[in-house]
């Protein structure tokens, strides 16, 4: 997943040299300082960016256009990284880039920066703005900001079917004439032909003449003054659209101020500063003052209000509202799910239901799969001649990989539930309900989604923390995600709980999950009080309407996640199983050694004995220690390692092959206390390599090093305390 | 029109008209971007208990804001329906 993303990023960053040459042909009438250019040569694919507010349906359009099956979410900010697809229309190659959803181009959060920098730096030939037709007034706000950039824009009036059902009639011709761009109605992937035609038309300069939006005489005049001052440095104005920069400067946008001084919006060098910096800053100061006097409020608010005024005028002239069925099913559901009294119990019930479903329902197919793998091991055991090959197949491969594959069913169920919640729009409600609580622990209502996704897999969970605005909140959230018991830890819990807490395995598993949540909160609280001090950050988010998730969308998502789990079982875990089989088998013990003596003689035995002093305070003997430590590669490996370490020893048993849980119970000498400590240790130990890579990508090396050291120390300390405490309480037996 | 009050003081179901945003640059700007502009009408859809966030219906949709942000929005109370 990450590889794909970074690959697409790499590709996107190689292309920009090509863009200025073919700078939008249609932009020539806009006094943006861009050089007019000939129609783009047909040799180079058109670079088209998909922009739009969160929940406008960008990803659906992206999928419909490219045939890709990306995850569509119903939560602000599901597309946290831009994605790229290719298609061709009427013999024209198009590179389509799906940008994260943003309300505005003010670079308020990390995903807004991604979207804004793409349009500014990569200079796409055209931007398709995807708008929700049921709420044009809000969505056109971004459209105007795209027009300010002087880039050709085509508007996709998405969800036009829902708008019609609500009695909203949009005259797209009229709206287009008012704002100077083509609008095309789309809905659920329909209308793509017309949209593509409009894209080609606009990119080849055959569309309506683009013009800069007008914000009333006073603001237009101030912006024009400033634009002229910026355009006085032609080299600078060729890099940065002057009108856009003028408006952003009036808005007191810090990134724009940095750009003027020659710094990149996100920090670092971008190019020379404006040649007449002082002159521009003088005019800017005077213009802001005049605006604030004229309108009687801060300039940044004025620009925003004038934009909305312009939107309001255009919408009023082009749309009619028949009937007023305003409050719908969404409102009825929210009356319960977001109610001050019942919202929290409903939320807890939903969470409980998910876990109940995962474990109770998942237990049956898991048992069947376990039986299947035991049967296969028995079959292979009797078919293969005694020797190393048999040992490799039975103990190494079937024992290791089979142990992990048995846990696919509960993981599929968990992903199904999480996808359903995410697509339905419930996650934003949960953020509303949990904000006050999370806020107390130094987290944020918007930390909720990353934390819950952490029950599935830490990698997307860590990435989804980008929707958080302040870096303090983002750091706190990312650092808390590994405490959530991800799908890979689940097999470890299920195995150990099944073996050592046979009366009530679900309670033991819930206990570990609960401990994870409690640790995430406590740890965040400690970080908030120590190294992550800072101001409380605002909580302002849009509440998306409920949408019935589509089966196709959910299955695509679950298929992708399950596929990646299976791939992991076929690659990393297979390799790890074989490796662990090898180090537990070689060097071969002298003839006549018992299996235990042979194991102790092997490389793993010797290494395990060497580190035993470190792990014996936790109640782990060297075998358990080896299994626990291999979890650094991926958590499921703990299960496969146990499978290899506690071998089937087919020859000795009369009753046929025993399941891994049984072998653990009978052969490992673990007590329930040690098993529970092992579960806690696996919960808290540093996450797998993929998750560590995600932390590095989001927060950098320093935080990665901190988190790894912190979790390593905490997992040992916690395991030590619980084990010693348990012994004192007499739970050691 | 009565004396302006803070949005945070409105009960659930209360209709209002935005007067002005009192908050500092970034948050104030964000609120303006989300549609809290002078003269715009809205309604407090619901409030969480004891200090939790508010759900505000504005500009054809719902926005969730924390009470501390709502304290920075000055509104005029509208009687009756909005």
ipTM value for the complex = 0.90
CB-CB contact of B47 with B12 (8 Å) = yes
Closest in B38, B62, B66 to A435, CB measured: B66
Show Cβ contacts of residue A536 under 8 Å, excluding neighbours closer than 6 positions. A439, B68
Residue B7: both structure tokens together: 């949005």
The dihedral through the CA atoms of A378, A383, A385, A387 has a sign that is negative
Show Cβ contacts of residue A24 under 8 Å, excluding neighbours closer than 6 positions. A34, A37, A125, A126, A150, A151, A152, A203
Closest in B46, B50, B53 to A445, CB measured: B53
> How confident is the model at residue A71, as a pLDDT?
55
Contact B29 A542 (CB under 8 A): no
> How confident is the model at residue A391, as a pLDDT?
79
Contact A135 B27 (CB under 8 A): no
> How confident is the model at residue A658, as a pLDDT?
67
**Cβ neighbours of A167 in B, within 8 Å:** none
Strands A126-132 and A83-89: unpaired
Q: Is B43 on the interface with A (CB under 8 A)?
A: no
Torsion angles phi and psi, residue B64, rounded to 5: -100, 125
Which residues of chain A approach chain B closer than 8 Å at the C-beta? 103-104, 106, 108, 134-135, 137-138, 141, 251-252, 297-298, 300-301, 304-305, 308-309, 334, 338-341, 343, 428, 431-433, 435-436, 439, 445, 536, 538-543, 545
CA A515 to chain centre: 24
A221 to chain B, minimum CA–CA distance in Å?
Answer: 22
Rounded to an integer, what distance in angstroms lies between the CA atom of residue A453 and that of residue A426?
Answer: 13
Count of residues in chain B: 82
Residue A567: both structure tokens together: 């791939």
Contact A432 B48 (CB under 8 A): yes
CB-CB contact of A222 with A214 (8 Å) = no
Residue A170: both structure tokens together: 């949009």
Residue A634: both structure tokens together: 């991926």
CB-CB contact of A100 with A115 (8 Å) = yes
- A303-340 as b/e: b if 16+ CB within 10 A: bbbbbbbbbbebbeebbeeeeeeeeeebeebbeebbbe
> How confident is the model at residue A143, as a pLDDT?
94
**Cβ neighbours of A541 in B, within 8 Å:** 63-64
Cis amide prior to A587 (ω within 30 degrees): yes
**Cβ neighbours of B34 in A, within 8 Å:** 103, 540, 542
The 8-class DSSP code of residue A328 comes to -
Contact B55 A338 (CB under 8 A): yes
CB-CB contact of A646 with A660 (8 Å) = yes
Q: A169 - beta bridge partners?
A: A320
CA-derived radius of gyration, chain B: 11
**Cβ neighbours of A252 in B, within 8 Å:** 25, 29
Where exactly are the structural domains of chain A? 2-203, 217-321, 351-533+558-728
The 8-class DSSP code of residue A252 comes to T
**Cβ neighbours of A425 in B, within 8 Å:** none
Q: Is B46 on the interface with A (CB under 8 A)?
A: yes
CA distance to A393, A396, A604, A632, per residue, from A582 (Å): 12, 8, 9, 18
- A506-544 as b/e: b if 16+ CB within 10 A: bebbbbbbebbbebbbebbeebbeeebeeeebbbbbbbb
**Cβ neighbours of A543 in B, within 8 Å:** 55, 61-64
A-B CB pairs within 8 A amount to 122
> How confident is the model at residue A6, as a pLDDT?
37
Q: pLDDT grade, residue B81 (50/70/90)?
A: low
Question: In chain A, which residues have pLDDT < 70?
Answer: 1-43, 68-82, 107-108, 264-270, 323-329, 535-536, 647-658, 733
Q: A126 - beta bridge partners?
A: A48
The dihedral through the CA atoms of A331, A332, A338, A341 has a sign that is positive
**Cβ neighbours of A342 in B, within 8 Å:** none
Strands B54-58 and B41-47: antiparallel
**Cβ neighbours of B53 in A, within 8 Å:** 432, 435-436, 445, 539
Half-sphere exposure of A358 (CA within 13 A, CB side): 28
CB-CB contact of A78 with A56 (8 Å) = no
Q: Is B66 on the interface with A (CB under 8 A)?
A: yes
Rounded to an integer, what distance in angstroms lies between the CA atom of residue B65 and that of residue B62?
Answer: 10
Q: Where are the alpha helices (DSSP H) in B2-79?
A: 25-33, 67-70
The fraction of chain A above a pLDDT of 70, given in percent, is 87
> How confident is the model at residue A281, as a pLDDT?
93
The 8-class DSSP code of residue B11 comes to P
**Cβ neighbours of A428 in B, within 8 Å:** 64
CB-CB contact of A605 with A599 (8 Å) = yes
Strands B5-6 and B73-78: antiparallel
**Cβ neighbours of B40 in A, within 8 Å:** 308
pLDDT tens per residue, range B14-57: 999 999 888 877 788 888 888 899 889 999 998 887 778 899 99
Show Cβ contacts of residue A381 under 8 Å, excluding neighbours closer than 6 positions. A390, A394, A648, A650, A657
In this prediction the pTM is 0.75
Strands B73-78 and A46-52: unpaired
Q: Is B38 on the interface with A (CB under 8 A)?
A: yes
Residue A147's closest CA among A225, A196, A207? A207
Closest in A301, A343, A432 to B64, CB measured: A432
Residue A336's closest CA among A321, A322, A346? A346
Residue A141's closest CA among B42, B15, B29? B29
Q: Topology of domain A217-321, per CATH? A: Helix Hairpins (1.10.287)
Residue A156's closest CA among A233, A88, A59, A247? A59
Q: B21 - beta bridge partners?
A: B73
> How confident is the model at residue A4, as a pLDDT?
38
CB atoms within 10 A of CB A45: 18
Q: B16 - beta bridge partners?
A: B42, B77
Q: B15 - beta bridge partners?
A: B43, B78
Torsion angles phi and psi, residue A682, rounded to 5: -65, -35
Torsion angles phi and psi, residue A455, rounded to 5: -70, -25
Show Cβ contacts of residue A176 under 8 Å, excluding neighbours closer than 6 positions. A155, A182, A183, A208
B52 to chain A, minimum CA–CA distance in Å?
Answer: 5
Contact B65 A540 (CB under 8 A): yes
Residue of A nearest to B18 (CA): A305
B6 to chain A, minimum CA–CA distance in Å?
Answer: 17
Pick the CATH number of A2-203 from 1.10.600.10, 3.65.10.10, 1.10.10.60, 3.40.50.300: 3.40.50.300
Residue A513: both structure tokens together: 């999950």
Domains annotated on chain B, with CATH: 5-78 (2.30.30.90)
């Amino acid at each position: 997943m990450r590889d794909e993303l970074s690959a697409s990023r790499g590709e996107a960053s190689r292309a920009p040299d090509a863009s200025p040459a073919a700078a939008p042909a249609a932009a020539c009438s806009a006094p943006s300082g861009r050089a007019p250019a000939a129609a783009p040569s047909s040799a180079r694919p058109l670079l088209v960016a998909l922009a739009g507010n969160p929940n406008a349906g960008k990803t659906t359009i992206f999928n419909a256009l490219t045939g890709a099956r990306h995850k569509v979410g119903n939560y602000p900010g599901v597309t946290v990284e831009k994605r790229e697809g290719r298609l061709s229309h009427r013999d024209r190659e198009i590179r389509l880039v799906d940008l994260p959803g943003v309300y505005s181009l003010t670079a308020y959060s990390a995903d807004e920066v991604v979207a804004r920098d793409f349009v500014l730096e990569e200079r796409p030939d055209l931007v398709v703005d995807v708008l929700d037709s049921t709420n044009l007034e809000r969505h056109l706000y971004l459209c105007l900001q795209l027009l300010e950039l002087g880039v050709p824009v085509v508007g996709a009036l998405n969800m036009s079917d829902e708008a019609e059902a609500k009695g909203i009639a949009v005259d797209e011709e009229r709206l287009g004439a008012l704002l100077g761009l083509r609008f095309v109605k789309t809905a659920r992937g329909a209308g793509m032909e017309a949209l593509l035609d409009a894209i080609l038309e606009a990119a080849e300069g055959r569309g309506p003449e683009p013009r800069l939006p007008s914000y009333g005489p006073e603001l237009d005049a101030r912006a024009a003054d400033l634009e002229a001052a910026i355009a006085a440095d032609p080299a600078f104005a060729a890099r940065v659209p002057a009108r856009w920069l003028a408006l952003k400067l009036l808005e007191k946008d810090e990134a724009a101020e940095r750009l003027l001084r020659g710094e990149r919006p996100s920090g670092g060098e971008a190019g020379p500063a404006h040649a007449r910096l002082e002159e521009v800053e003088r005019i800017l100061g005077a213009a802001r003052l005049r605006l604030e006097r004229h309108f009687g409020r801060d300039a940044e608010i004025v620009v925003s209000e004038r934009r909305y005024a312009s939107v309001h005028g255009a919408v009023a002239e082009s749309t009619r509202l028949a009937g007023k069925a305003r409050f719908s099913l969404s409102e009825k559901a929210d009356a319960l799910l977001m109610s001050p009294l019942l919202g929290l119990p409903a939320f807890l019930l939903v969470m409980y239901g998910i876990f109940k479903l995962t474990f109770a329902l998942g237990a049956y197919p898991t048992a069947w799969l376990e039986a299947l793998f035991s049967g296969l091991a028995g079959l292979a055991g009797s078919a293969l001649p005694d020797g190393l090959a048999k040992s490799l197949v039975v103990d190494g491969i079937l024992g290791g990989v089979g142990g992990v594959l048995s846990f696919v069913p509960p993981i599929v169920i968990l992903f199904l539930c999480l996808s359903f919640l995410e697509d339905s729009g419930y996650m934003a409600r949960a953020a509303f309900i949990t904000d006050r609580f999370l806020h107390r622990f130094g987290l944020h209502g918007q930390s909720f989604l990353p934390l819950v996704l952490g029950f599935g897999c830490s990698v997307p969970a860590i990435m989804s923390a980008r929707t958080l605005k302040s870096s303090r909140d983002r750091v706190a959230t990312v650092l808390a995600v590994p405490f959530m018991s991800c799908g890979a830890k689940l097999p470890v819990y299920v195995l150990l709980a099944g073996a050592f807490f046979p009366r009530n395995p679900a309670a033991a598993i819930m206990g570990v999950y609960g401990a994870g949540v409690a640790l995430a909160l406590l740890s965040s609280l400690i970080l908030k009080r120590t190294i992550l001090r800072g101001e409380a950050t605002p909580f302002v988010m849009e509440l998306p309407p409920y949408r019935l998730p589509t089966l196709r969308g959910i299955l695509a998502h679950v298929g992708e996640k399950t596929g990646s789990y299976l791939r992991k079982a076929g690659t990393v875990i297979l390799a790890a199983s074989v490796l662990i089989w090898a180090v537990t088998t070689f060097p071969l013990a002298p003839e006549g050694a018992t299996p235990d003596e042979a194991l102790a003689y092997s490389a793993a035995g010797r290494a395990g004995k060497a580190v035993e002093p470190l792990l014996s305070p936790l109640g782990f003997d060297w075998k358990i220690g080896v299994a626990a430590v291999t979890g650094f590669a991926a958590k499921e490996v703990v299960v496969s390692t146990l499978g290899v370490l506690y071998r089937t020893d087919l020859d000795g048993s009369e009753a046929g092959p025993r399941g891994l849980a049984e072998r653990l119970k009978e052969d490992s000498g673990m007590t329930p206390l040690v098993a529970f400590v092992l579960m806690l240790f696996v919960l808290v130990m540093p996450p797998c390599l993929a998750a560590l890579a995600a932390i590095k990508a989001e927060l950098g090396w320093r935080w990665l090093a901190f988190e790894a050291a912190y979790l390593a120390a905490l997992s040992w300390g916690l395991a030590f305390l619980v084990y010693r405490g348990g012994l004192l309480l007499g739970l050691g037996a | 029109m009565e004396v302006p009050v803070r949005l945070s003081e409105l009960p659930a179901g209360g209709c209002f008209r935005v007067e002005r945003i009192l908050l500092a640059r970034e948050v104030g700007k964000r609120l303006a971007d989300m549609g809290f502009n002078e003269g715009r009408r809205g309604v407090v859809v619901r409030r969480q208990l004891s200090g939790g966030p508010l759900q505000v219906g504005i500009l054809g949709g719902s926005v969730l804001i924390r009470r501390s942000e709502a304290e920075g929005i000055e509104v005029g109370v509208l009687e009756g329906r909005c």
